[in-house]
């Protein structure tokens, strides 16, 4: 069950980015001047990229900054969960020998 939730957490934001970009490329073009940053965001920080595109044209207030920080923490959590889960498996593997 944990793998399915992780898989959805990895796939859903990327599908959302592609769908939003296909439906509103002008917004993405106004937010990003060059294609490298959205591509980097697509692969490494998708939730942060989504919230940045959502709030950047209207400006950032306290609420949008808080949501952006939570999105960044969710992206870091996606990377960090795999590290901590594998760390426990690796230590038990070496202890059993």
Report pLDDT digits (tens) over 25-78: 999 999 998 889 999 999 999 999 999 999 998 888 999 999 999 999 988 887
Give residue 62's pLDDT. 94
Looking at the 3D structure of the chain, how many domains does it have?
1
Give residue 76's pLDDT. 86
Give residue 2's pLDDT. 65
pLDDT higher at 94 or 8: 8
Give residue 84's pLDDT. 61
Give residue 90's pLDDT. 58
Residue-number span of the structural domain to which 29 is assigned: 2-96
SS3 of the chain: CHHHHHHHHHHHHHHHHHHHHHHCHHHHHHHCCCCHHHHHHHHHCHHHHHHHHHHCCCCCCHHHHHHHHHHHHHHHHHHHHHHHHHHHHHHHHHHHC
* pTM, full prediction: 0.76
pLDDT surpassing 60 at residue 4: yes
């Amino acid at each position: 069950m944990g793998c399915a939730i992780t898989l959805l957490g990895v796939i859903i934001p990327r599908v959302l980015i592609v769908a939003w970009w296909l439906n509103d490329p002008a917004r993405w073009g106004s937010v990003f001047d060059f294609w490298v940053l959205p591509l980097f965001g697509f692969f490494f920080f998708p939730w942060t990229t989504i919230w940045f595109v959502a709030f950047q044209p209207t400006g950032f207030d306290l609420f949008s900054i808080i949501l952006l920080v939570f999105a960044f923490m969710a992206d870091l959590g996606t990377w960090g969960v795999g590290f901590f889960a594998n760390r426990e498996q690796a230590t038990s593997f070496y202890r059993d020998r």
